[in-house]
């Protein structure tokens, strides 16, 4: 999946095929996302200031996100145990995908020079990327996601 590394997917692109585990021991695939809109957000590291603000904003808006029919998935290169500690510490209601080999980040083109660029994708029910936001500011993240979900 890493052949797209550095070339970020954008609006209208198909979501690549993938298989990845989360902090709860569940496996996620592209086909599991089909049928509902998904907010897939990439962040650099668990339990860091920006990543925590971003995740907690999503947690605090959980009712609005679920009312809009959105599935929310966070992705970072941290392992499942780190994700579970992060989720538990902040009572995050959504799964965190453990991209330890950075294959998913590479497939979406959000790994640049060995770093994960904080980016978000709104994936449509058909698996097509409706919106892609590169280099997201964690403090503005929630507003742009909610605005896009309202359309």
pLDDT in tens, 96-138: 999 999 999 999 999 988 899 999 999 999 999 999 999 999 9
Full set of structural domains in the chain with CATH: 2-149 (3.40.30.10)
Distance of CA 25 to the CA centre of its chain: 17
Residue with tokens 């058909």: 126
Q: Is the pLDDT at 147 greater than 70, yes or no?
A: yes
Q: Report the pLDDT averaged over residues 24-43.
A: 97
Beta bridge partners of 19: 29
Region of 139 please: left (phi>0), alpha (psi -120 to 50) or beta.
Answer: alpha
The pLDDT > 70 percentage for the chain reads 96
pLDDT digits (tens, 9 = 90+) for 9-24: 999 999 999 999 999 9
Distance CA 101, CA 19 (A): 12
Indicate the DSSP class of residue 91.
T
Query: Which residues have a catalytic role annotated?
Result: 51
Give 6's pLDDT tier (boundaries 50, 70, 90): low
């Amino acid at each position: 999946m890493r052949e797209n590394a550095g070339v970020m997917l954008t609006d209208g692109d198909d979501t690549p095929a993938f298989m990845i585990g989360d902090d709860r021991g569940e496996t996620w695939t592209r086909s599991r996302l089909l049928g509902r809109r998904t907010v897939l957000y990439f962040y650099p590291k668990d339990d860091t200031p920006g990543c925590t603000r971003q995740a907690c904003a999503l947690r605090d808006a959980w009712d609005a996100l679920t009312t809009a029919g959105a599935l929310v998935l966070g992705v970072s290169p941290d392992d499942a145990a780190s994700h579970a500690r992060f989720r538990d510490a902040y009572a995050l209601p959504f799964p965190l995908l453990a991209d330890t080999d950075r294959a998913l980040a590479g497939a979406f083109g959000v790994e640049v020079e060995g770093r994960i660029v904080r980016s978000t994708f709104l994936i449509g029910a058909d698996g097509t990327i409706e919106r892609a936001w590169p280099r997201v500011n964690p403090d503005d993240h929630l507003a742009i996601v909610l605005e896009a979900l309202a359309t």
